[in-house]
Amino acid sequence: MTRYADIPKPIRSGIVVVDPERGTPQRIIVLQFNPDTLERSLAPQSAGGSGDSGGGGSGGGDRNEALRLKGPAQETWKFTAEIDATDQFEVAAPDGIHPELATLEMLVHPTTAQLREASRLSKKGTIEISPIEMPLTLFTWGSKRVMPVRLTELSINESAFDVNLNPIRAALSIGMKVLSVSDLPAGHRGADLYMAHLAQKERLAALGLAGRDAGLGRG
């Protein structure tokens, strides 16, 4: 059997749940297969209104605000990941992929302890109960993309089951919103991680090839 020892092992993408106070990982979710495609969307946070208010334009925006930004762009990610227990026979899976699915689902659920505490405060007569705060979640796609995120979509398509009806194969449609300094309070660990993510973009942008006017016919 031929072995290709010089072929590098691919880095896996994944999700890391971090304690926002200590910065220590609480849970690491490594995607079994890297998604084949990524859908990314960036929406600028423009200071002015849409449209052009001058020069005969029909918009109602302020011309003094046309080039101003209120903050970082709102960035969203979407991709499809797969989990397949039949691809890892060496790992015992008496519950199928229930544990992997439950781990991902708990990213959008509060814990029973948190729900009981909220119920206790409600019965105690607490006037205002703050919404339950979830742990800080990071998405990693290689060393150049590590960012704080909030899951906005988790759709699960289970396509195969064992004799006990445990799911053994599923496709996951995952949507995420990148949390920027506009979303997090000052001093929050997630805000620092976003700044590091944005600084990485700046470093990569500086490596891009510079064009010349002649290439645009402006010579």
pLDDT in tens, 117-141: 888 888 887 767 778 888 899 999 9
HSE (side-chain half, CA atoms, 13 Å) at 205:
6
Q: How many residues does the chain have?
A: 219
pLDDT in tens, 41-58: 999 988 876 544 444 455
Nearest to 104 by CA among 185, 29, 2: 29
pLDDT at 166 over 90: yes
The CA dihedral of 98, 30, 195, 21, to the nearest 10 degrees, is: 60
What's residue 142's pLDDT?
Answer: 92
* DSSP class per residue in 179-195: --TTTS-TT-HHHHHHH
Confidence of residue 172 (pLDDT cuts 50, 70, 90): very high
